[in-house]
Structure 1
């Protein structure tokens, strides 16, 4: 049913600042620019700060996210790019492998909104990327924000279990503090 509206849950509110990395493959620069504009507007609207990095193609997007997830302090990630069907099976490889890698990263705990478009032609991509239209970049950013909120909601609280410095006495040591 074309033109049907889709439900989108309201954006979460955050007590603590949110920092998001937007990773974009600008192979189709006009499409990528629209995706980034939509994502940044959504993140700004939620009060999040964002950093944008470019990678050569859609297959590199999950790799960059993996590096940042392991080595940096981002709360979430937005994956952006566009894959347009060509004459070879490369399209299926790029679509399937980038999507699968992003899903696996999400299952490992990375909060990722996937805005990598997979389309038949440039016109389809333009409609989906347009921030005033389908705004798939904004939708990917909102998905990341929802996952960040869930991650924070269900974060494990530390129970204070462990050793306390100075709370034990070594055998034969009469000068150290007694254990409680």
Structure 2
């Protein structure tokens, strides 16, 4: 376990309802139960509505979130699962690819709390998944809520895309007749 203190932010409050999809892999069912219990408690404490969908493994979680984001109306997502190191490099592939996919979607503006545990053994996972312990499921739900709050805070701000000409005059490529006026 990491040494030292860490800061936990106050859970945001919302004026309008929040709808979150929890996408979970129950591959290690006892670990998944703890993660899910912690996430649900955090969402309920914030007054958020939630739904749950199960996927076979951690690699399918980002795809499920991507599909849901395109075809539904959730404000955010909580990704929950567990990857335990084994004897092959499959561990690195699953950890890296699921994390990278979630991060890329987050950079596109999708509000995702990542609670996919990546651990060396079952004991480490149990400590992290325990709602009365490290409560990583609750932490992932809190992260999603903070991102939703930030998205709503800045949701009405619109920025121009591209560039604006310095004036209404513009030049066309290959046009030697001088500037045109829009």
Normalised by the length of structure 2, the TM-score is 0.85
Name 1:124's counterpart in structure 2.
124
Name 1:99's counterpart in structure 2.
99
Equivalent-residue separation in structure 2 for 1:157 and 1:107 (angstroms): 17
Equivalent-residue separation in structure 2 for 1:6 and 1:22 (angstroms): 25
Measure how far apart 1:4 and its partner are: 1.9
Normalised by the length of structure 1, the TM-score is 0.86
Equivalent-residue separation in structure 2 for 1:5 and 1:17 (angstroms): 33
Segments ≥4 residues shifted beyond 6 Å:
none
Aligned-residue CA RMSD in angstroms? 1.2
Name 1:81's counterpart in structure 2.
81
What's the CA shift string for 1:60-89, capped at 9, x where partnerless? 000000001111000000000000000000
User: What aligned pairs does 1:100-179 form with structure 2 within 5 A after superposition?
Assistant: 100-156=100-156
Name 1:42's counterpart in structure 2.
42
Name 2:166's counterpart in structure 1.
none
Measure how far apart 1:8 and its partner are: 1.3
Gaps of 5+ in 2: 159-182
Measure how far apart 1:3 and its partner are: 4.2
User: What aligned pairs does 1:11-22 form with structure 2 within 5 A after superposition?
Assistant: 11-22=11-22
Equivalent-residue separation in structure 1 for 2:71 and 2:23 (angstroms): 15
Gaps of 5+ in 1: 159-180
Equivalent-residue separation in structure 1 for 2:2 and 2:140 (angstroms): 21
Is residue 24 of structure 2 the alignment partner of residue 24 of structure 1? yes
